[in-house]
Amino acid sequence: MSSPSSSGGDGAGAGVEVRELSHRYERPEGRLTVLDGVGFSIPPGGHVALTGASGAGKSTLLSILGGLEPPQSGHVHVGGHDLDGLDGDELASYRRRTVGFVFQHFGLLETLTASENVEVALTLAGTRARARRARAAELLAAVGLADRAGHRPGALSGGERQRVAIARALANRSRLVLADEPTGNLDERAATRVLDLLEQLPAERGCTLVVVTHDRSVAERAPARLHLDEGRLSGP
Amino acid sequence: MSWADAVLFAARGLLRRRGRAVLTLVAVALAAALLTALLMITETGRSRVLDQLSRGGPLAGVRVDAAVDDGVLRRVRALPDVAAVVPIATTRLLVATDGVVVADVDEGGDGAGAAPAVRPGADVEGIVGVDIAQADNLPITVLAGRLPEPGTTTEVAVDQRWLERRGVAQGEEAGVVGTEVVLGAVREGAGGRRDSLAARWTRALVVGAVAQEAAAGGVLAPLPVVLDARAWAAGGAGPAGEDPLTGGGGEGGPYEGLFVVAQGLNQVDEARQQLSALGLPNEAPENLIASVLRYLHVVELVLASIGVIALVIAALGIANALLAAVRERRREIGVLKAIGARDRDVRRVFLFEAVALGLGGGLAGTVLGWAIARGVGAVVNDYLSAQGLAGVTVALPPAVLGGGILGSAVLALLAGTVPAVRAARLPARDAMGEG
Ligand SMILES: Nc1ncnc2c1ncn2[C@@H]1O[C@H](COP(=O)(O)OP(=O)(O)O)[C@@H](O)[C@H]1O
Ligand SMILES: [Mg+2]
């Protein structure tokens, strides 16, 4: 991978281009440089595994790509958006329209049913109720949970919860899916099923996919790998 | 996110922390109930007093101490600033309390004094005769028992002077109720000779003890008691029908005074000027009125502040509950932002939670407060009707109703602002959080 490609493209996945990205945290113990001049690119519809030791900055990099934090310095270009120039509401809109997150902790709202959890993403995008329900049903069916739509997260297994989260990540036709240790809390069978679902997204929906993992076997399933070490990228 | 969605979201958030939400709600409800009840009670008290003043109750009364005949009475009634006029007839009668009925007597006397001989056990008492039907307009308070029936000649009430002279202690007024007195009207015989003094004795039942400022006396009686006694006394051949005990009643008209009720508090001055213009000496308790109003205002302020303080404490409870919720839901708020919620969406959800608590608590509390005030009102009414006074209607004024509910909602909104802003400012990065 790593050949800069045209980012953008409508409907298809979002190309990612990162140049000279640095990120620091000010902490009581002193300044911590998490990312130190990172650069790479992912073509639209690409699938990349991001590895690195705990605390290497994987989640930080993912949160910058996903617009959870604005880049402190350097350039981040995703699907036609220059993330370094966006303000809070613009970042929110970027997250809503372009990005789908999958977290290790699933991040489902406990009081809502599976279907409602998917619908929240659509609600935030202003989709009407009827269309929301239809889309949620379609996505839950796609992740094999059509019959669990009315269940709350508490009644679902870890693997099922993560599949609801994947359905939610796809709700607004995200062009970039960012998964942070998506199998970290799952047993092997559930993990395999979740990874199968995620890995078919680039082909089936044209999404660009970045999966953060410290699990070698998970990383090896990806066609391209990035490794974070001491704030810098290296080969696998 | 639309408003409706935000409301739905807020509702879910509250339901999720049901126990805490209920506790917070109860605190708000109790505070709103306290405020509502206090405001209703003071409002009722004030409106009753103001009502009396504007209708002219005893507080807007002017006493006229002069003999008045029907002509003058008519002219006073026609005065522009006068709402009602209650004529007062007074006389002095012999009153025996030993219950012995004495047939008409000719008291033999010795010496040449003008005073009639008095039977043992009989005292001379001032009798204040008023139209009992108009007692509401007069400064009369029932201490025990009730007022005599209007128009009867067989029922009387005794007043504070009577009780004082007989050493009846405060709180023991009920003891005189139900006792019998015998009233003696005295007629002077022809020629004014003492041995021709005659008394007509009539029985009357003491039905109540009162405090009254309508006129100086000892016994409060329906008007006919005084008029009859006076007519009987005048029926004798006494000089010019003069009442031998009082020397009055013969000239200047049948009434010894008037209680004039002004149209309202602000008309008391004008009414007094108009009375003076008619040559009628008069007096009014203006200072009393002013201080009563001032006192009511202070009571109102104090009670309202207690209620408001309670509401503020409840609002702090809302702030505290929501702050705790924000702390607990850091990651969830981050996730909401990660899937596209803007800061203002998050803020809105928390503000709605606060308002829901405020509105819910305010509504429940206002209803509760209304019930409390009604309960208090019922007790007050029992007391008032025991006093022979008209009861109060404890109504829920729209201002209190709206104020209680809206006030709680607005306070809750204010209380929710800090947690809501704090939630909205949480970094979206918290979505990744390990917590
Ligand atoms: N908001 C923050 N403030 C201060 N330090 C942070 C913050 N977020 C992450 N860090 C620190 O930055 C480093 C990288 O964190 P992270 O990107 O989460 O690592 P990884 O996901 O690779 O384990 C860690 O040492 C972490 O403690
Ligand atoms: Mg991490």
CA distances from B71 to A203, B74, B77, B271 (A): 112, 5, 10, 18
Lookup: tokens for B271:
């009414």
Residue of B nearest to A60 (CA): B429
**A70: Cβ contacts below 8 Å, ≥ 6 apart:** A64, A83, A84, A86, A91
- pLDDT (0 to 100) of residue B188: 64
**B410: Cβ contacts below 8 Å, ≥ 6 apart:** B358
Most confident of A175-189, B234-248, B315-329: A175-189
The larger pLDDT score, comparing residue B420 to residue A13, is at: B420
Return the minimum-mean-pLDDT range out of A213-217, B52-56, B231-235.
B52-56
* 3 state SS of B178: coil
Residue B107's pLDDT band, with cuts at 50, 70 and 90, is very low
| CB-based contact B432 A88, cutoff 8 Å | no
Residue of B nearest to A97 (CA): B340
Mutate to test the pocket of ligand 1, among A24, A25, A72 (most ligand atoms within 8 A of CB): A25
**What is the tens place of the pLDDT at every residue in B184-212?**
887 766 555 544 466 788 889 999 999 88
CA A95, CA B339: separation in Å to the nearest integer? Answer: 6
- pLDDT (0 to 100) of residue B253: 56
Helix axes B268-277, B286-328, angle to 10 degrees: 170
Which residues of chain A have a CB within 8 Å of the CB of B346? none
Q: What DSSP element (H or E) covers B160?
A: helix B160-165
- pLDDT (0 to 100) of residue A32: 92
**What is the tens place of the pLDDT at every residue in A68-93?**
999 999 999 999 899 988 999 999 99
Q: Which atom of ligand 1 is nearest to the CA of A180?
A: 21
**What is the tens place of the pLDDT at every residue in B21-51?**
898 899 889 988 888 888 888 877 777 776 6
User: A60 C-alpha vs ligand 2 centroid, how far in Å?
Assistant: 7
Average pLDDT on A45-72 reads: 94
Which residues of chain A have a CB within 8 Å of the CB of B334? 68
User: Would you say the ipTM is above 0.90?
Assistant: yes
CA B271, CA B283: separation in Å to the nearest integer? Answer: 11
User: A57 C-alpha vs ligand 1 centroid, how far in Å?
Assistant: 6
CATH of the domain at A189: 3.40.50.300
Average pLDDT on A203-212 reads: 94
User: A55 C-alpha vs ligand 1 centroid, how far in Å?
Assistant: 6
Is residue A36 pLDDT above 90, yes or no?
yes
- pLDDT (0 to 100) of residue B435: 44
User: A174 C-alpha vs ligand 1 centroid, how far in Å?
Assistant: 26
- B318 closest CA partner among B271, B260, B357: B357
Average pLDDT on B415-431 reads: 93
- Name the closest-CA residue to atom 9, ligand 1: A60
* B219-222 vs B122-130, strand pairing mode: parallel
- pLDDT (0 to 100) of residue B239: 43
**What is the tens place of the pLDDT at every residue in A102-133?**
999 999 998 889 999 999 999 999 899 899 99
- Using a CB–CB cut-off of 8 Å, the residues of A that contact B are 59, 62-63, 66-69, 88-89, 91-93, 95-97, 99, 101, 103, 105, 107, 109-112, 120-121, 123-126, 168, 172, 180
Number of domains in chain A: 1
Residues spanned by the domain of A178: 4-234
The larger pLDDT score, comparing residue B73 to residue B239, is at: B73
**What is the tens place of the pLDDT at every residue in B398-416?**
887 888 888 888 989 999 9
Residue A52's pLDDT band, with cuts at 50, 70 and 90, is very high
How many C-beta atoms lie closer than 10 Å to residue B316's C-beta? 13
